[in-house]
Copies of this chain bind each other. A is one copy, B any other.
Amino acid sequence: MSQSKRAELIRKSLLLFYRNGFHATGMDLVAKETGVSKTSIYKHFRTKEELILAVLRLRDENFRNWLYRRMEELADTPKGQLLSMFDALEEWFLEDNFQGCMFIKASAEFQDRDHAINAQAYAHKLLLADHLEELVLQAQLPDARNLARQLLILKEGAIVVAAMSHTAASAKEAKSIAGMLLAA
């Protein structure tokens, strides 16, 4: 399988898992929708779990790249970028195919903390927290670690509420809290 076909398989699998859930999406459907035969899929991924892990790796890369870039585009100071994270989130919430955070959902479906999928989902959140902490440090705000964690709580809360309410209002509501936090 060529590199590009493999990438396409992962990309299309991502959409299926994101839309339908992990357990609810069978490998027969993956084969049918990606156009790659099940035999070929299992030649490159030993198990469904390995395919899911590859999907999560792609999602992690895509999402963080997009978010970090968007934050930089929307503001040019570290503090401004932290605030504009919520503007970027709002754009995401307003997308037609917004279905919540794939990592929260992966963690919800694979709850065993020893499970590779659970661990990888959490790793994504740790990378986000690290990035936020770095920006907080650049903004020369006190208590960087704690502040970064608080911003992460706001982000996750806004995502969950947006996904469950099918509205984007939580982005602005979280942003105004973040404004208070960063002003202090």
A131 proximal to B (CB < 8 A): no
In the complex, are the beta carbons of A21 and B23 less than 8 A apart? yes
In the complex, are the beta carbons of B170 and A161 less than 8 A apart? no
**Of A3-11, A68-76, A133-141, A149-157, the one with at least 4 CB within 8 A of chain B:** A149-157
Residue among A105, A108, A176 with the highest chain B CB neighbour number at 10 A: A108
Given contacts A149-B173, A170-B153, A177-B177, contact A161 B24 (CB under 8 A): no
Q: Which residues of B contact A174 (CB under 8 A)?
A: 150, 153
Smallest CB gap from A181: residue in B: B177
Q: Which of B107, B121, B184 contacts A180, CB < 8 Å?
A: B184
**Copies of this chain in the oligomer:** 2
Write the nearest CB–CB distance from A149 to chain B, whole angstroms: 5
Determine chain A's interface SS by DSSP, over half rule: helix
CA distance A122 to B165 in the complex (A): 7
Write the nearest CB–CB distance from A14 to chain B, whole angstroms: 15
CA distance A161 to B108 in the complex (A): 12
CA distance A45 to B1 in the complex (A): 48
A160 proximal to B (CB < 8 A): yes
Add 16 more A-B contacts to A107-B164, A146-B173, A153-B157 (CB < 8 A): A19-B111, A21-B108, A21-B109, A23-B109, A99-B111, A100-B108, A107-B163, A108-B109, A113-B166, A149-B161, A149-B169, A153-B161, A155-B157, A157-B157, A177-B177, A177-B181
